Amino acid sequence: MFENLIESKQKSPKTMGQTVLSVLLHGLVIFGAVKATQGVAETIKNRPVDTTMVFLKPPEPPKPPPEQPPPDVIVAANPPPKGFQTVVAPTDIPKDIPPVDLDQKPFDPRDFTGRGVEGGIGTGVAGGTGPVGDYFLESQLDDPVQVISQPTPRYPPVLASAGITGRVEMQFIVDTTGHVEGPSFKVMKTSHPAFAEPAREAILKSVFKPARFKGKPVRQLVQQAVAFKQQ
């Protein structure tokens, strides 16, 4: 149907001036691009280089093992108190020379300085509450301690008025005179904290028949429970 294409508008040929102008414009664009590239290169070239040196700390050598304490230093979770022992005068003066006991603990003058807590030892720790020295358990004795007199524990008025009963389990050492060593007293278990102090007061005022081992009075570690009940 249509054998010839029809041009919408006939183009006129370019003049020499237009050609020169086109060449100049292209040259300016190329020149600007080259200058911009050189500026970026100069900026990168003049940028300061970080030359900071980082020194890695070498690993620390392993710590030496802890030094073992001297044999006369008390090391325990519950150390005995620092103090002094009291000397009990004998009631019966022996007429014969007593036999030599090689198993007896040697005399330590630091335990009789009179400084610190009564019932403690010279190698103890200030504020310690643990047992002092050598003591025996009931299973090791043929004649363990026996209660001679023990007051009734004071019932806390608040708990008594509320009708609250309780029980306190304690641990303490009875010395060779039949009295409880105060620093050795320890509450093992109590149904209410208010029962602990009255139980301690009653135990410290108690009198016991001392334990004996091979016919001689010895210290014994005692575990006892006190019950608080309404009358």
Higher pLDDT, 13 or 156: 156
Q: Check residue 147 and give its pLDDT.
A: 92
Together in a domain, 142 and 82: no
Within-domain flag for 57: no
Strand order in the sheet with 166-174: 186-190, 166-174, 220-228
How much is the pLDDT for 91? Answer: 56
Q: How confident is the model over 124-152, as a mean pLDDT?
A: 79
Instruction: Clarify whether residues 227 and 174 are in a common domain.
Output: yes
Mean pLDDT estimate for the chain = 75
pLDDT in tens, 110-132: 766 767 766 666 666 777 655 55
User: What pLDDT, on a 0 to 100 scale, did the predictor assign at position 73?
Assistant: 42
Residue 140, in any domain of the structure = yes
Q: Quick one: 217 and 163 in the same domain? A: yes
| Domain range enclosing 79 | 68-93+109-130
Between 95-104, 131-140, 174-183, the lowest mean confidence (pLDDT) is in: 95-104
Residue 28 has pLDDT above 70, yes or no: yes
222 belongs to a structural domain? yes
Judge if 125 and 185 occupy the same domain.
Answer: no
Same domain, 140 and 231: yes
Statement: residue 170 has pLDDT above 60? yes
Considering the domain architecture, whether residues 124 and 143 belong to the same structural domain is answered as no
Residue 9 has pLDDT above 70, yes or no: no
Answer yes or no: do 85 and 144 share one domain. no
221, 141 Cβ separation under 8 angstroms: no
In this structure, the answer to whether residues 173 and 191 fall within a common structural domain is yes
Q: What pTM did the predictor assign?
A: 0.47
Among the ranges 127-131, 134-138, 227-231, which has the highest mean pLDDT value?
Answer: 227-231
Tell me the CB-side half-sphere exposure of residue 217, using CA atoms within 13 A: 13
Q: Of 161, 144, 148, whose CA–CA distance to 217 is shortest?
A: 144
Q: Are residues 166 and 114 in the same domain?
A: no
Asked whether residue 121 falls in the same domain as residue 209, the answer is no
Which pair of structure tokens corresponds to residue 133? 């020295």
Q: Check pLDDT > 50 for residue 75.
A: no
Domain at 154, CATH number:
3.30.2420.10
| Residues 165 and 199 reside in one and the same domain | yes
Burial of 200 (0-12, 13-18, 19+ CB in 10 A): buried
Asked, for residue 59, whether it belongs to a domain, the answer is no
List strand residue ranges (DSSP E) for the chain, in order.
83-84, 117-118, 146-149, 166-174, 186-190, 207-209, 211-213, 216-218, 220-228
